[in-house]
């Protein structure tokens, strides 16, 4: 299978293989990485057909992490990329550079980038194209603010973000959507399971509206205050194909517990 093509494990609607991705944000120095990865690898018994696991550290740690996990099935990712492959963009990191450093995944359109850097759906869509050009698996983030939820606009906001942020090139490729309500990120608050189900269904409908059948295969991750206590229930919700995990991915024990919640019971117990 060529890089970037849809993996066979992503069956439409029934995604039995969950995808768990840690987003370290701007956290982690080399010493933290060594400890966390050693703890993780010591206790992780990961078979790729049972769970797909990724970690997206700061760009400075991608190369080291990729070396540290090379004998495991853990995939390494970036947290953003520029649209351009190279050029006079001081501080920028291209998708090709992420691949060169050892990344296979990239988070795009995270709400922190949408809010702090004014990233629009159109820019996110262009970044998706750049990620695919380089052979990366994009994880495209969408999600409503608290004001939008309180105004009853959550589903329509997510639909608009999906329609605007996806890219025609995604059809047949390996990618994921992440539904991350802005108000749930880093707050300890989560939507109810019914609310998660409702928005994931709306996101799926928008993905199919945008890409046709090609929008039916990619997993939809839930993100926002996932922790060892709520992961199992959230991951059991219809159309939840995995989790994007911020704070809890920084502690090996918590991240492991979430991975276990995503694995079949027989594996998780082992």
Q: How many CB atoms sit inside 10 A of residue 43's CB?
A: 12
Tokens matching residue 112? 């922190």
Nearest to 246 by CA among 39, 42, 56: 56
Q: How far is the CB of 215 from ligand PEP (least distance, A)?
A: 22
Residue indicated by tokens 């050009």: 133
Residue closer to ligand PEP, measured from CB, 111 or 263? 111
Among the options 75, 96, 144, 180, which is catalytic? 180
Q: How many CB atoms sit inside 10 A of residue 216's CB?
A: 14
Residue closer to ligand PEP, measured from CB, 133 or 251? 251
Pairing of strands 51-56, 137-142: unpaired
Residues that bind ligand PEP (CB under 6 A): 23, 180, 185-186, 223-226, 244-248
Please indicate whether residue 45 is annotated as part of the active site: no
Tokens matching residue 37? 């990865």
Please indicate whether residue 180 is annotated as part of the active site: yes
Minimal CB distance residue for ligand PEP:
246
Q: How far is the CB of 110 from ligand PEP (least distance, A)?
A: 6
Q: How far is the CB of 177 from ligand PEP (least distance, A)?
A: 13
Angle (CA) 254 108 16, round 5°: 55
Residue closer to ligand PEP, measured from CB, 211 or 226? 226
Among the options 110, 144, 200, 239, which is catalytic? 110
Q: Which residues does the annotation mark as catalytic?
A: 110, 180
């Amino acid at each position: 299978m060529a890089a970037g093509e849809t993996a066979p494990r992503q069956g439409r609607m029934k995604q039995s293989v969950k995808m768990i991705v840690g987003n370290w944000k701007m956290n982690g120095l080399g010493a933290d990485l060594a400890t966390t990865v050693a703890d993780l690898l010591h206790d992780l018994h990961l078979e790729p057909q049972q769970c797909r696991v990724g970690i997206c550290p700061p760009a400075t740690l991608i190369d080291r992490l990729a070396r540290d996990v090379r004998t495991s099935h853990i995939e390494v990712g970036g947290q953003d990329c520029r649209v351009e492959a190279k050029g006079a963009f001081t501080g920028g990191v291209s998708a090709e550079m992420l691949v060169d450093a050892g990344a296979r995944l990239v988070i795009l359109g995270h709400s922190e980038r949408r809010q702090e850097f004014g990233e629009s759906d159109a820019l996110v869509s262009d970044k998706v194209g750049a990620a695919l050009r380089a052979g990366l698996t994009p994880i495209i983030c969408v999600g409503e603010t608290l004001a939008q939820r309180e105004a009853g606009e959550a589903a329509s906001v997510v639909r608009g973000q999906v329609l605007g942020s996806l890219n025609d090139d995604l059809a047949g490729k390996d990618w994921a959507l992440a539904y991350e309500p802005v108000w749930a990120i880093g707050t300890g608050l989560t939507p109810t399971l019914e609310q998660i189900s409702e928005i994931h269904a709306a996101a799926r409908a928008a993905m199919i509206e945008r890409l046709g059948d090609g929008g039916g295969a990619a997993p939809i991750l839930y993100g926002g205050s996932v922790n060892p206590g709520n992961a199992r229930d959230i991951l059991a919700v219809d159309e939840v194909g995995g989790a994007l995990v911020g704070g809890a991915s920084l502690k090996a024990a918590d991240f492991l517990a979430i991975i276990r919640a995503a694995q079949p019971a027989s594996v998780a117990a082992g």
